[in-house]
Structure 1
Amino acid sequence: MLSNTGTVSFYLYLFFVVIGLLSIFVAYSLLKKGNMEPDKLDKFFDYFKWVIITLAVSTVTLIVSDLFKERDQDIKELEYFDKYVNDVKNEDRPLVRLQLAKYLSIVAPSGEMKKSWTNYYQTIKQEYDEYIKAQSSLKQDTAIVNPTPSQMKKIEENQRKVDLFETPLSSTTNENNSEWFIIAGGNENIDDANSKLEKATKINHNSSIIKKGNSYRTVLMGYNSKLEAESQLQLVKKQINPTSYIVRKFLWCNAIEKNDECLVCK
């Protein structure tokens, strides 16, 4: 409470007002009992009127000044923390997002801002724990060759939790960000990549070669969810490359252009 200068000023003002009222009450008691002469009583009242007016004016001025200073300080704090809000919203790596929230819950100034960041960190920490459990369950459940309907339902629910937590909070993400790729390996020359592409198109006709860096990657494209991509991953590993893996399009390559021989990741 004492860290808020406006609140301190307000309580000081109330304190002096109470003293003034008590003084008036004492003067009235003395006058009633006849223990104070009228001329001294007039001087007594003049003195306390001067004290109360002087204190009232100075204290109110101090309160208003402190309130404006605190308002400016709050605005600066909001501007400072606003950039971190965008960092948290745009962060797609779950652990980094959690660490950012923890950091802000610690360094935020006392008050509503600290309370809000602490509540957010506690919420996202619980979601992160569920995310880790869902990831662990998926690794076990997706290895089942012929899952039952209840197992499929469980897989889909865990996949939903994983996808939801891995998706950035920012509303600037678009529909293309939800696309998933299966990377079926990379080659130093395009001829070797084309031989893999022939096998890939038999599994998914929406396959292509994407040059990323100095490597020609054979990519199976167009999966709307990670679960959909995982449904074909084992087949790709068996028929094309045992080290094939799944990626989210906008994380693996945000911009893809076409040249004369293939697609190119920019």
Structure 2
Amino acid sequence: MSNIGLVSLLLYLFVVLVGISFVFIVYKLINKSTLENDKIDKFIEYLKWALITLSLPTVAIIVANFYQERREAIEEMKYFEKYTEDVRDLSKLEQRRQLVRYFATVAPNSRLKGSWEDYLDTINKDYKRSVTLDSLERVLNKDSINNVKRLDSIKNERNKIDAQMKSSKDFVNAKKHELAGFKFLIDKDVNSAIESFTESENSYNGFHNVYEIGRYLSKNKDNLLNKNATEWKSVYKMIDTKYSWEIPEIYKKEIIKLSN
């Protein structure tokens, strides 16, 4: 919970405690017949005031947390976009691995850490295989004449790893466009959402449910051009129930809320 939300919650709990204490005291006085009728009327007026007053901090908590989460989501997007290009520009697997490991360590919150850690897992698999290939290549080079085919096989496999880094398995870019797609989805910008989910799929074929979501939005695009269209609720419901796998946590709550 944000600091603003926490302060609102503490104030709310304080007011609730005071209100409940006062009601309890008045109730005791009524039972003992020590409270006059005109004061009972005043108590009822106070009770009305208390109910209104107690509702205000509740609204403050909800509003504060909502806007705080949106601000955090925007900041996360900016942070992610700021460093993804640095990662993509690295052609050597070891350099990229070290940089991603650094980001996974220093990311400012658990959600971003999770994104970088997921990408680090992907890189580590290729890195471990690359280390194994290097070790095997050194051994085979001791008798390179008799190991030409095996050395060629190692070279081909290493080329595949390098190509995979540069083409269809761009996890970082896929994640960036996926986050943008969900942001546009929340903002009811169907055209930008479709474009972002398509870019995510193009960066990493089969990445989460971006292809399915993009295709679903495209089929229903005409009904979603109006941000006030009632069909939007059905869209959020469909995504929450059918395409919910790996929805970014920063947007999951909002999608559930909008689907109800």
- Give the TM-score taking structure 2 as reference length: 0.49
- Give the TM-score taking structure 1 as reference length: 0.48
Higher helix share: 2
Higher strand share: 1
